[in-house]
């Protein structure tokens, strides 16, 4: 993300909009304006960033703040740019987890740079998302976690959180990816020893707290996925994806873009 032209904070807060407005003078309203005006107590003269969640970004200066029942911020656009997607795109296939551990996994993975998250109904997942309202609410919480974490990390792109899939559907995703990696504490090969592609989609499978079953492991291997371990310790399902993303950032060009 480019620095501020006047040397001010290079990472001002990010606010998400459905579409970047045209023109030099724009307004921010709705829930994002309410957050800016009442939670962050934004003042005229401060900078903020608008993002359309898909890489479109606009750096703005606040010209006026109108609080109240229908808050609005008047902004002047100083700079626009498009953040390109990474050459190597990482999708986290995250097993459903009990309580708020799944949301934490999405939050940490988003902050660590995941490009997409795929909820996976693993055989040993304690959490079970049904097809009704409860499942829809759980999915909405994951998507909200991704949006909030992307804003926190000052990202111009919000990871897409897809609809939940079973193992059969996940196998199909792995078959079509440039690379599939399955985090497995018992795998003989370390992540640092894996041959990683320079571009395309890399799917990283994170299992549930109870681990991946032998049948799932065999199905993933048949799809061309490689079992890898991160290190000598066993990580929780909520943290493993973020740690692996950090390693991938150092091992590939993702952090050198």
Residue 3: inside a domain = no
- What's residue 174's pLDDT? 98
The CATH code of the domain that includes 120 is 3.40.1280.10
The yes-or-no verdict on residue 3 having pLDDT over 50 is no
40-69 average pLDDT score: 94
Contacts 24+ apart (CB under 8 A), 168-175: 170/93, 170/118, 170/120, 170/205, 170/220, 171/219, 171/220, 171/222, 171/223, 172/223, 173/91, 173/93, 173/118, 173/203, 174/203, 174/205, 174/220, 174/223, 174/224, 174/225, 175/223, 175/224
The yes-or-no verdict on residue 159 having pLDDT over 90 is yes
CA-to-CA separations, 46 to 61, 62, 73, 92, in angstroms, rounded: 6, 6, 11, 36
pLDDT per residue over 178-219, tens digit each? 999 999 988 999 999 999 999 999 999 999 998 999 999 999
75-86 average pLDDT score: 94
Residue 6: inside a domain = no
Count how many domains the chain has: 2
The yes-or-no verdict on residue 4 having pLDDT over 50 is no
The yes-or-no verdict on residue 104 having pLDDT over 50 is yes
Closest CA to 178 of 119, 232, 252, 101: 252
Percent residues over pLDDT 90 in the chain: 84
Q: Let me know whether 71 and 95 are in one domain.
A: no
Q: Let me know whether 31 and 117 are in one domain.
A: no
Q: Let me know whether 25 and 142 are in one domain.
A: no
Containing structural domain, residue 236: 88-256
End-of-domain residue from the set 47, 82, 117? 82
């Amino acid at each position: 993300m480019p620095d501020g032209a006047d040397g001010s904070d290079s990472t001002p807060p990010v606010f998400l909009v459905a579409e970047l407005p045209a023109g030099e003078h724009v307004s921010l309203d709705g829930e994002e304006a309410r957050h800016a005006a009442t939670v962050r107590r934004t003042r005229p003269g401060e900078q903020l960033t608008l993002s359309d969640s898909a890489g479109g970004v606009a750096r703005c200066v606040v010209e006026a703040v109108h609080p109240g029942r229908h808050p609005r911020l008047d902004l002047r656009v100083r700079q626009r740019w498009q953040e390109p997607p990474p050459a190597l795109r990482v999708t986290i296939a995250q097993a459903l987890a009990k309580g708020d551990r799944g949301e934490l996994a999405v939050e940490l993975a988003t902050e660590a740079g995941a490009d997409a998250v795929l909820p996976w109904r693993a055989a040993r997942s304690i959490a079970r998302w049904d097809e009704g309202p409860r499942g829809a609410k759980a999915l909405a919480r994951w998507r909200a976690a991704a949006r909030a974490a992307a804003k926190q990390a000052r990202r111009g792109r919000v990871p897409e959180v897809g609809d939940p899939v079973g193992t059969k559907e996940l196998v199909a995703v792995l078959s079509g990816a440039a690379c599939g990696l399955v985090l497995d504490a018992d795998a003989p090969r370390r992540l640092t020893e894996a041959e990683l592609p320079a571009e395309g989609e890399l799917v990283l499978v994170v299992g549930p707290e109870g681990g991946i079953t032998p049948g799932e492991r065999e199905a993933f291997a048949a799809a061309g996925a490689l079992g890898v371990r991160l290190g000598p310790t066993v990580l929780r399902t909520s943290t493993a994806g973020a740690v692996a993303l950090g390693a991938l950032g150092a091992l590939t060009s993702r952090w050198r873009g």
